[in-house]
Structure 1
Amino acid sequence: MSGQAGARYGQIVGELRRRIETGELAPGDRVPSTREITRQWGVAMATATKVLTELRREGLVRAVPGVGTVVETPSRPVRGARPAAVPRTGGLSGAGPAGLTLGRIVAAAVVVADEEGLAAVSMRRVAAELGVATMSLYRHVADKDDLLTRMMDVVIGADPLPADPPAGWRDTVELAARRLWGLFRRHAWLAPAMSMTRPQVIASALPYSEWILSALHAHGLDLHTAFTAHLTLLNYARGMAVNLESEREAEAHSGLDGEEWMDAQEPALLAVLASGRFPSVSRLTEAGYDFDLDALFEFGLQRLLDGLAPLLDEPSAG
């Protein structure tokens, strides 16, 4: 770490430590994620990661799967006193080699992926999160691919489908597709981790396949065609969702959110449109377009379902 980066690292650690010690950030409160740190303080992702690692080392914060990094609850709170540094056990207390479990490893990996993105997940990074030697992880997971499969299984299984599907095929497929989209929304790394050409065996994802196959088959589709429709819907949702992770990476590296980036491109776009060769695009630009990924997903989902409707024994909703 360069001298300037090291100084910024120290400042950020000191500021977050101060907020925790003064109670501005109370036990259980979520602290800024690595992405938020990069935006707020204008530092690289590596520096932001080191900030949270140091706060975990000092015992000030801990990682909570599905939530992020939160302020640790001190065992003996002392007003105004800085918590003493503890051994490097990372965000999951008691996760030393003797207490290392598969569940702790997967939970730590999910936290890393949620906060820092899929590219940050490695055996070395997860071991650092837990405060253990990298090789100790291999007693529980075969390799990174095995770890990713288990991560996907955990996050999908954490939000199961209802016990009973809706009555109609369209309501059933809509519910499954929207639940899957919600999972992709909460875990931006999930879509790019999921392979269509070399599908991983994810037990918690099989209910989605069963739901859609059963619904479509019961309303007139043979199982092969129903499975083709299922894959089409799945890849549509996944294809939309891969934009979430790429946008998060772009935002972390540029320091600009999507709207700010689009504003920065406006002069170049207007210069091209000044030629008059693209009147429709020009009119749309003048009127304004509210880009909403959720709305795009819903629009495409309905059109896909309208396309399936003629193959089934129910008419199109459109």
Structure 2
Amino acid sequence: MAARTTLRGPLSRDEIITAALDLAESEGLENLSLHRIAVAVGVKTTSLYHHVSDKADVLDAMADHVLSSVVIPDVDSMDWPDAVRATSYAFRTAAMRYPSSAPLLLVRRPDRPALLPIVDLALRALRRAGLERSQTVHVMRAHIAFLVGSLLRESGVTANGSAATVIAGPHVDLLSAELPAVAESADELAACDHDAEFEFGLELLVSSVRQRLNARPDRPVG
């Protein structure tokens, strides 16, 4: 990548982070380096240190950028299932603008301030559903684990159809004897409709919360 030859204005932290996100998409997150970022913005690597402390700082800021771009829905005007759905899709939409950076949402610190508005949305919706405070935290964590896991699969970080395609290939006869359930589901394992998978997992989460709510006794016993 050639450095810019035109004169440039003052460098900013936002410009560095935007360049890092774009580089992750074009060249892969694993290839991201401060040197590559410096070349992309047309400065020497040492100039970056006036705005970021190191590569870890850049990666944290990239995760913050993705989280901060979530368009917060008006969950207070919705019933709790729709609030959970709206929050989930808003998170997914923001994250998939930079799918190569999706792993950062998992491996960077999970208590980052940029995540807190999303956590607050989920907790408010679940409390409104009638869950106890401790239960809302458990469900919220399961919810976030589902969201991030789905994004990792969708961005190609985790194994999906590629490994399953091998299962559906010439080895299926051998597998049918040793792994009958895998062989039986080979065609389904080889396909992955990300939209359908996300919707299925989300509805499974919503229905499990509803089932837990319905299982509560209506009146105290005794």
CA contact (8 A) 2:164 2:189 kept: no
In the alignment, which residue of structure 2 is the partner of 1:119? 30
Paired position in structure 2 for 1:173 = 84
Change (3 A) 1:242 1:285: closer
Q: Quick check: 1:147 aligned with 2:58?
A: yes
Amino acid corresponding to residue 140 of structure 1 in structure 2: H
Superposed CA deviations along residues 141-200 of structure 1, whole A, max 9, x for unmatched, are: 122222122222223333411345442111101111122222333322333112478425
Q: How far apart, CA to CA, are the structure 1 residues paired with 2:178 and 2:17?
A: 54
Mark the CA change 1:125 to 1:167 in structure 2 (over 3 Å): closer, same or farther.
Answer: same
Counterpart-to-counterpart distance in 2, 1:213 and 1:267? 45
Flag the 1:144–1:190 CA change in 2: closer, same or farther, 3 A: same
CA distance in 1, matches of 2:37, 2:49: 12
Cα distance, 1:111 vs structure 2: 0.4
Identify if the C-alpha distance between structure 1 residues 289 and 139 changes in structure 2 by more than 3 Å, giving closer, same or farther.
Answer: closer
What residue is the counterpart of 1:162 in the other structure? 73
The verdict on how the C-alpha distance between 1:118 and 1:223 changes in structure 2, with shifts beyond 3 A counting, is: farther
Look up the match of 1:270. 172
Q: Which amino acid aligns with 1:223?
A: R
Question: What is the letter of the counterpart of residue 183 of structure 1?
Answer: A
The alignment yields a C-alpha RMSD, in angstroms, of 3.3
Residue identity opposite 2:198 in structure 1: F
Q: What pairs with 1:213-224 in structure 2 (closer than 5 Å)?
A: 213-224=123-134
Render the CA deviation track for 1:75-115: whole Å, top value 9, x for unaligned. xxxxxxxxxxxxx328xx754xx621111111101101122
Counting only pairs closer than 5 Å after superposition, residues 78-227 of structure 1 correspond to structure 2 as: 88-89=3-4, 95=8, 99-163=10-74, 165-195=76-106, 198-203=109-114, 205-227=115-137
| Length-normalised TM-score, structure 1 | 0.58
- Return the alpha-carbon distance in structure 1 between the equivalents of residues 141 and 180 of structure 2: 38
User: Does 1:305 find its partner at 2:206?
Assistant: yes
Q: Specify the code of the residue in structure 1 equivalent to 2:66.
A: V
- Mapped to 2, the partners of 1:153 and 1:201 lie a distance apart of 8
Secondary structure of 1:99's aligned partner: coil
Name the structure 2 match of 1:13.
none
Question: Counterpart of 1:312 in 2: which secondary structure?
Answer: helix
Give the structure 2 partner of residue 291 of structure 1.
192
The count of corresponding residues between Structure 1 and Structure 2 is 216
**Could you tell me how far 1:218 is from its partner in structure 2?**
2.2
- How far 1:294 sits from its partner (Å)? 2.5
Instruction: Quote the Cα distance in structure 2 between the aligned partners of 1:146 and 1:110.
Output: 13
Contact 1:152 1:202 in 2 (8 A): no
Task: Name the aligned partner's letter for residue 88 of structure 2.
Answer: A
Structure number with greater Rg is 1
CA distance in 1, matches of 2:186, 2:44: 54
- Mapped partners of 1:130, 1:296: distance in 2: 38
User: Relative contact order (alpha carbons < 8 A, sep ≥ 6): 1 or 2 greater?
Assistant: 2
CA distance in 1, matches of 2:84, 2:181: 35
Q: Distance in 2 between matches of 1:121 and 1:141?
A: 15
Matches of 1:289 and 1:246 in 2, distance apart? Answer: 14
Larger fraction in helix? 2
